[in-house]
């Protein structure tokens, strides 16, 4: 099957939530030595389609969950083949989905991409409290806290993360980068976080940039 057809097949498998086809297609992509990065971008596009269908009420929660499962299975195959420019500055990142956010696929992709770039990553999982982010960053001597936020109602919890860092006088030592469909560049000004990343590769760039300022 031609490269484009494989990518389109992967795209379709994620959109319809076909876990078996998504994994099989990912295995074919990896087996042919095709770009895992390009395949991941294609799956991200597919999830954007799924999100829009959900917003239009064409999809239900079960459909979104099926699509996320398909992407997760394909990603397991593709993760070892990701190619990211190595980081010149070694740093440690604490990452997680903020309290109230229980979807972890996007966060998992960012964590894997950061590791592929050579960063040390401490993954706290999903539904992580502001206190857990800060306490872990202090314990692990991490320079960056990366927060995934997909649910609009949970964005205000960012204030607690920022406030805890300020209270402990750590704002200049630990930087915050946020990502996910519930946040944007506007979030930086509103909540006083340091960077917004639009995708996994942008997160790598932002983490490198933030580390260079410490």
Q: Residues 175-198: what's their mean pLDDT?
A: 95
Q: What is the CA radius of gyration of the chain?
A: 17
Nearest-CA neighbor of 199 among 71, 64, 37?
37
Residue 117 has pLDDT above 70, yes or no: yes
Angle at 34 between CA 32 and CA 39, to 5 degrees: 125
The 10s digit of each residue's pLDDT in 129-158 is 999 999 999 999 999 999 999 999 999 999
Domains and CATH numbers, the chain: 3-81 (1.10.1240.10), 92-211 (3.40.50.280)
Q: Which of 77, 2, 92, 3 is closest to 40 using CA atoms?
A: 77
| Weakest mean pLDDT among 2-6, 119-123, 163-167 | 2-6
Q: What is the pLDDT of residue 105?
A: 84
pLDDT in tens, 17-76: 999 999 999 999 999 999 999 999 899 889 889 888 988 999 988 898 899 889 989 999
Closest CA to 188 of 155, 164, 212: 155
Sign of CA dihedral 47, 121, 75, 205: positive
């Amino acid at each position: 099957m031609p490269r484009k057809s494989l990518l389109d097949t992967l795209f379709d498998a994620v959109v319809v939530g076909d876990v078996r086809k998504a994994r099989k297609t990912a295995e074919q992509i990896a087996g042919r030595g095709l770009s895992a990065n390009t395949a991941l971008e294609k799956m991200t596009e597919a999830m954007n389609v799924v999100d829009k269908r959900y917003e239009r009420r064409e999809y239900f929660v079960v459909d979104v969950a099926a699509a996320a499962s398909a992407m997760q299975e394909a990603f397991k195959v593709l993760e070892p083949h990701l190619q990211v420019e190595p980081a010149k500055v070694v740093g440690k990142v604490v990452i997680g989905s903020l309290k109230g956010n229980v979807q972890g696929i996007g966060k998992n992709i960012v964590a894997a991409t950061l590791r592929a770039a050579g960063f040390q990553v401490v993954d706290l999982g999903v539904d992580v409290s502001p206190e857990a982010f800060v306490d872990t960053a202090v314990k692990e001597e991490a320079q960056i806290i990366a927060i995934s936020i997909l649910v609009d109602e949970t964005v205000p919890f960012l204030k607690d993360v920022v406030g805890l860092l300020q209270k402990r006088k750590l704002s200049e030592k630990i930087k915050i980068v946020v990502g996910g469909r519930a946040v944007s560049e506007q979030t930086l000004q509103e909540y006083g976080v340091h960077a917004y990343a639009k995708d996994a590769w942008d997160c790598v760039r932002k983490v490198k940039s933030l580390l260079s300022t410490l």
